[in-house]
Amino acid sequence: NRLNIPFEKRMELSTNSIAKKLFNIMATKKTNLCLSVDMTSSTKIIDLLEKVGEHICLVKTHIDIIEDFSDNFIMQLKQLATKFNFLILEDRKFADIGNTVSLQYTKGIYKISEWADCVTVHSLPGEGILKALNSCTNTGSKGVFFLAEMSSEGNLITHQYTEATVKMAAKYPDLITGFVCQKKETFNNPGLIQLTPGVQLDSSKDDFGQVYNTPEKVVLENGADVVVVGRGIVASKNPEAQAGIYKNTLWKCYMKRVSG
């Protein structure tokens, strides 16, 4: 059972280089908090990361919402990633035919493949999407978090969809870092990472269908390895303090899980 194996051990079972790195960072920094920096100002993102970088294993970006995006922002982000030892996940949710996705991943203003350690990908378009990403060889070490479930109310993902997603991923062991999902039953492979969004301490939903659970619920009951927190931290009055609180709470839950 992957849930009881410590991250140090699971690292050795990973076939994707980014999964190995992320397990290692979590074990070393003792944090499984992924901060979703859903803010539209690059300066504010950099300022926040300077303060909370020590608390996180992964930063999740929506690069296309940043109003003052520049190559300099990417440079600063990478410097912070090195300074604080965290990885970068661009939450692009690729969802097109393979040919289009390979262009979206490597070209344009953002050139995601050049700076993101990993990206999120929907399985909806079929296997061509993974085949295309896999063939983008301009980067060495890269990873995919494959969406097997979503956090939002009324989403159209069925059990069959999730199963087909996990099956599709199994053909690309070098590429797949893990799954974005909500349930521990979704997959078994201990070398893969369960990334779970939809977590907030002070709220149970937003106005557009987002559903929140508690850290205890997602880590202990639902099998989350890395937990994504966005507005719970970035929209709070004191993001720095909140980041510390989420980090400690989430790590305690993980410790309880592996020791129990």
Ligand X SMILES: O=c1cc(CO)n([C@@H]2O[C@H](COP(=O)(O)O)[C@@H](O)[C@H]2O)c(=O)[nH]1
Which residues line the annotated binding site? 38, 60, 151, 210, 230-231
- Measured from the CB atom, is 56 or 140 closer to ligand X? 56
**Which residues, other chains included, contact 180 with Cβ-Cβ below 8 Å and sequence gap of 6+?**
120, 145, 146, 147, 148, 149, 150, 195, 196, 197
225 part of the active site: no
Q: Is 137 exposed, middle or buried (0-12, 13-18, 19+ CB in 10 A)?
A: exposed
Q: Which does 154 bind (CB under 5 to 8 A by kind): ligand X, a copy of itself, none?
A: a copy of itself
Among the listed residues 5, 46, 95, 220, the single contact to a copy of itself using CB under 8 A: 95
Q: What gap in Å lies between CA 176 and CA 193, rounded to an integer?
A: 9
Q: Does 150 bind a copy of itself (CB under 8 A)?
A: yes
DSSP symbols for 74-119: HHHHHHHHHHHT-EEEEEEEE-S-HHHHHHHHHSTTT-GGGT-SEE
91 part of the active site: yes
The contact set with ligand X (CB under 6 A) reads 36, 38, 62, 91, 96-97, 100, 120, 150-152, 180, 197-198, 200, 210, 228-232
The contact set with a copy of itself (CB under 8 A) reads 38, 40, 62-67, 69, 91, 93, 95-100, 102-104, 107-110, 122-129, 131-132, 135, 150-158, 160-161, 164-165, 206-210, 231
